Amino acid sequence: MSEGVLNKLELRLGRLHARQRLGIETDHEAQIFGQGINFFHLENWYSIHSVIRTMLKLLGLYGRGRRNAEQIQIRHNHVGSKILPKQFDGFTLLHISDLHVEVSEGAMRRLNEILPGMTYDICVLTGDYRGATFGPFDAALEGLARVRAHLKGPVYGVLGNHDSIRMVPELEEMGIRMLLNECEPISRGEEAIYLAGIDDAHYYRVDNIEKAAAEIPEHAFSILLSHTPEVYRQAAHAGFDLFLSGHTHGGQICLPGSIPITLSSVLPRHMGAGPWNYSEMVGYTSVGVGCAVVPVRINCLPEITLHHLQRI
């Protein structure tokens, strides 16, 4: 990595956060590529794709799964709050999660068709832009730039466990304000709500909710973006009112009745997709718009979500 990118990241995130994230990324890649001793892990990784593909073909599900992966649903989630400022009654967030751009060509094509006709105030992206958890990210950024061109108004994002911290300078150059354990007020007239975001808490575990929440006034309405819903307890007890996440893909390949085989998370099953509550906090887990590993969805269609805030 060039000195320039490292300097930019250290200035942007602080020396410790930048070095922790980069250090764990380097360890992760070394593990996958067998540290030059063997390629066992890499072969293993590639075999997952073909094993799943072959199994689905044998079951006669592959073609249907591929078509499902392009059928993006527009879901609506209504969030009522007594402390929402009047100016924000009706405020709408477009939530897009888990694009996995290079694996999800058909879904990206469809997403770019849908986006121009949508109405919302801000857009939030809850991570996993890249297909794999390692390796090049140029194709992911190119595909994301095409999506970004169709988004209106301010766009905010967090990183997922598939993303490299090295993507941050280019993400911000394309006009996505990345929230890396940070918070931004959104103002309307004299009133404001607070939007915070954390770095990946699932694999990298460099999330810092305390830091993200530090500047939020005690009784203000606040939203936390986190790639994974797994930190729901920490978010609720830090006083967040709304928690938006992704990561689980809702299982992606599910049994009839949308019952996930795995959520790839340590999480109560009911928090794996859609709206939920914990303590005083309202949460939402998007099943995502893209696919991981294979571009297939069974009994779990992709989604983008409109969260409508309402003062009650």
We find the least distance from the C-beta atom of residue 269 to Fe ion, in angstroms, to be 18
Burial of 306 (0-12, 13-18, 19+ CB in 10 A): middle
Q: What is the DSSP string of 45-70?
A: HHHHHHHHHHHHHHTT-HHHHHHHTT
**Which one of 19-27, 85-93, 127-135, 257-265 is the stretch in contact with Fe ion (CB under 5 A)?**
127-135
- Measured from the CB atom, is 221 or 284 closer to Fe ion? 284
**Which one of 10-18, 64-72, 126-134, 252-260 is the stretch in contact with Fe ion (CB under 5 A)?**
126-134
Q: Residue for token digits 């996995």?
A: 100
With CB under 5 A as the contact rule, the residue among 25, 70, 128, 207 that binds Fe ion is 128
- Measured from the CB atom, is 33 or 203 closer to Fe ion? 203
> Could you say whether residue 230 binds Fe ion (CB under 5 A)?
no
Task: Return the C-alpha torsion angle 192, 117, 130, 264, nearest 10.
Answer: 80
We find the least distance from the C-beta atom of residue 227 to Fe ion, in angstroms, to be 8
**Which one of 42-50, 93-101, 117-125, 205-213 is the stretch in contact with Fe ion (CB under 5 A)?**
93-101
User: What's the rounded Cα separation, in Å, for the pair 279 and 87?
Assistant: 26
We find the least distance from the C-beta atom of residue 2 to Fe ion, in angstroms, to be 28
Contact yes or no for 197/224 (Cβ under 8 A): yes
We find the least distance from the C-beta atom of residue 127 to Fe ion, in angstroms, to be 7
Contact yes or no for 245/228 (Cβ under 8 A): yes
We find the least distance from the C-beta atom of residue 290 to Fe ion, in angstroms, to be 7
- Measured from the CB atom, is 62 or 129 closer to Fe ion? 129
- Measured from the CB atom, is 85 or 106 closer to Fe ion? 106
**Which one of 4-12, 83-91, 122-130, 271-279 is the stretch in contact with Fe ion (CB under 5 A)?**
122-130
DSSP 44: H
- Measured from the CB atom, is 79 or 96 closer to Fe ion? 96
- Nearest to 272, CA basis, from 283, 261, 263: 263
- Measured from the CB atom, is 102 or 128 closer to Fe ion? 128
If you count them, how many residues does the chain have?
A: 312
User: What's the rounded Cα separation, in Å, for the pair 123 and 98?
Assistant: 14
Sign of CA dihedral 11, 13, 14, 18: negative
Of 142-201, binders to Fe ion (CB under 5 A) are none
User: What's the rounded Cα separation, in Å, for the pair 109 and 123?
Assistant: 18
**Size of site (CB under 5 A) for Fe ion:** 2
- Nearest to 182, CA basis, from 158, 154, 148, 218: 158
Of 94-113, binders to Fe ion (CB under 5 A) are 98
- Measured from the CB atom, is 98 or 230 closer to Fe ion? 98
User: What's the rounded Cα separation, in Å, for the pair 257 and 278?
Assistant: 24
We find the least distance from the C-beta atom of residue 291 to Fe ion, in angstroms, to be 9
Please give the residue ranges that form the binding site for Fe ion (CB under 5 A): 98, 128
